[in-house]
């Protein structure tokens, strides 16, 4: 099938796949709108907000974050990363600290201000998503989590 040909669902399974793909697109659009609103509310650009989201996720996982990790995650140069980190430091959202075990390295951590701002803006949406997830059993949630993880890997295999 060429790029100009449109896939037309033939079977009920194909139609179910199309419904899932349509739902993923709708979710992506909703996430884009939410992030757009958050960056406006926090008065920052998309890269700054993406860096904060990454830091929040890594913090919840108990993982340290280096400036290089941020550059790789955002796919930006080290010079752009330095400017981004300078902006986030100046606005009080992050701190650069010495690595706890490697004295030559630095890590990037969220400030309490950043956590407060992020969860003030995201908390209501997170509670709403948690409420939706609460309607599903553990087995269903495991399937959903596996599916979303595999779709994420398909879209971004280098993450």
pLDDT digits (tens, 9 = 90+) for 36-51: 877 777 778 889 989 9
Range of the domain at 73: 33-122
> Which residues of the chain are modeled with pLDDT < 70?
1-5, 159
- Domain of 87, CATH number, reads 1.10.10.10
The answer to whether position 19 is within a domain reads: no
The answer to whether position 37 is within a domain reads: yes
- pLDDT of 52: 92
The answer to whether position 73 is within a domain reads: yes
Against a cut of 0.95, is the pTM above it? no
The DSSP H or E segment spanning 158 is none
Encoded tokens for 23: 């739902």
The answer to whether position 158 is within a domain reads: no
The answer to whether position 24 is within a domain reads: no
pLDDT digits (tens, 9 = 90+) for 3-27: 556 777 788 998 898 899 999 999 9
Contacts of 94 (CB under 8 A, 6+ apart): 51, 52, 55, 85, 88, 108, 109, 110, 111, 114
The answer to whether position 116 is within a domain reads: yes
The answer to whether position 100 is within a domain reads: yes
Residue (of 70, 66, 38) closest to 54 by Cα position: 70
- pLDDT of 9: 73
Query: Count of domains in the chain?
Result: 1
């Amino acid at each position: 099938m060429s790029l100009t040909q449109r896939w037309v669902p033939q079977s009920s399974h194909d139609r179910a796949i199309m419904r899932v793909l349509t739902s993923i697109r709708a979710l992506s659009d909703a996430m884009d709108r939410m992030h757009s609103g958050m960056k406006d509310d926090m008065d920052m650009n998309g890269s700054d907000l993406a860096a904060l989201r990454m830091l929040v996720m890594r913090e919840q996982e108990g993982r340290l974050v280096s400036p290089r990790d941020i550059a790789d995650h955002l796919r930006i140069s080290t010079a752009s990363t330095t400017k981004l980190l300078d902006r986030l430091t100046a606005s009080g959202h992050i701190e650069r600290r010495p690595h706890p075990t490697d004295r030559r390295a630095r890590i990037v951590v969220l400030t309490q201000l950043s956590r407060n701002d992020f969860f003030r803006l995201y908390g209501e949406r997170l509670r709403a998503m948690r409420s939706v997830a609460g309607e599903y059993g553990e087995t269903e949630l495991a399937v959903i989590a596996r599916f979303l993880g595999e779709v994420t890997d398909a879209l971004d295999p280098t993450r």
